[in-house]
A = this chain, B = another copy of it.
Amino acid sequence: MSTPAADGFFMPPEWAPHTRCWMAWPCRKDLWGAGLDAACDAYAEVADAISQFEPVTMIARGDEVASVSMRTTAKVATLPLGHDDSWIRDNGPSFLVDRQGSLAAVDWVFNSWGEKYKPYDLDAAVAEVLLDRIKVRRYAAPLVLEGGAFHVDGEGTLIATEQCLLNPNRNPGKSREEIEQVLRDYLGIEKVIWLARGLVDDETDGHVDNLVTFVKPGVVLALSSGDADDANHPILQDALARLRAATDARGRSLEVIEVEQPKARYDEKGGRLALSYVNLYIANGGVVMPVFEDPQDQKAMDIVGKAFAGRKVVGVPALDIVAGGGGIHCITQQQPSGKAE
């Protein structure tokens, strides 16, 4: 059994050119409850926003294909494919390229964020079925991992949290060193920057894509909190300190651009919603970012616009998405330019 890195493959950064963006239509009724319809509207708005930059293909259950077509513009394509839930960042393939311009992908083991939602057998199969449809070489990785649990810069650096990757609900038998080795072998990275943990009440057990995103090699955009009494404050302070102390795979210190989190919001059960401006999607020539009917929204968009100079920044209201547990990065998956088999 070969590995992607041994075969010359690596994961390009999210800003490398894309062939398309994959999404999956909301459908898990026990997750969304009465919010399902509003979630569909919000997903459709995200799909339409991204489709101004690159093709979008929405996977949907057979009986939902017509609904997707009616609720999105004609630019959004639909692929009928069985699935359980709608967070394709996490259960979809992580696409790779090599120096020959060939495409491949990693299929991680998916266990529904530590067995939180069931059933998940269809979601666990989505990456394999999808790769078979588009004839892209698949590497099955011996690791429980979600795409939202890491970010790469395309130059050898990966950022993740200990809370998620070392969580006993994911890979209880594996050491930190063993996990790092799988990441090196399957994503072509050289160095892991470890943050401690994610936002409070984030049911992903601390996905890094709510804390920070790479803007380009050497530069990150990180969530911050100016309120010392906020429950996320010590978490974000620690993350910022670790990012500032880190050096990347090329030996560079990171430039850290801060963006203040929106004000706290809670769900019906009193749980803190995981609201993060950095849970955004980098499209060809654009950035699609979540906004939250918050006074900070415009300032956050300005910071993102300045960080991603030259890209058009589009804010999409995301409270109806966050109600399900994630942001815009969580519901999207880029397929970089490259040739299939």
Contact = CB atoms under 8 A, between A and B. Distances in A.
Nearest to A11: B99
Interface residues on A, range: 10 to 19
Overall SS of chain A's interface: loop
A10 interface: yes
Nearest to A310: B341
Interface stretch (A159-167, A222-230, A331-339): A331-339
Contacts of A338: 17, 337
B337 A100 contact: no
B154 A337 contact: no
A13 B99 CA distance: 8
Contact of A336 (B10, B15, B101): B101
B100 A217 contact: yes
B17 A155 contact: no
Contacts of A101: 12, 15-17, 336-337
Contacts of A16: 99-101
Interface in A201-220: 216-217
B17 A99 contact: no
Interface of A: 8, 10, 12-13, 15-17, 99-101, 154-155, 216-217, 284, 336-339
Given A17-B101, A337-B337, 4 more contacts: A13-B100, A99-B155, A100-B155, A101-B337
Q: Which 4 A-B pairs have CB atoms at the shortest separation, nearest pair first? A: A16-B101, A17-B101, A337-B337, A99-B154
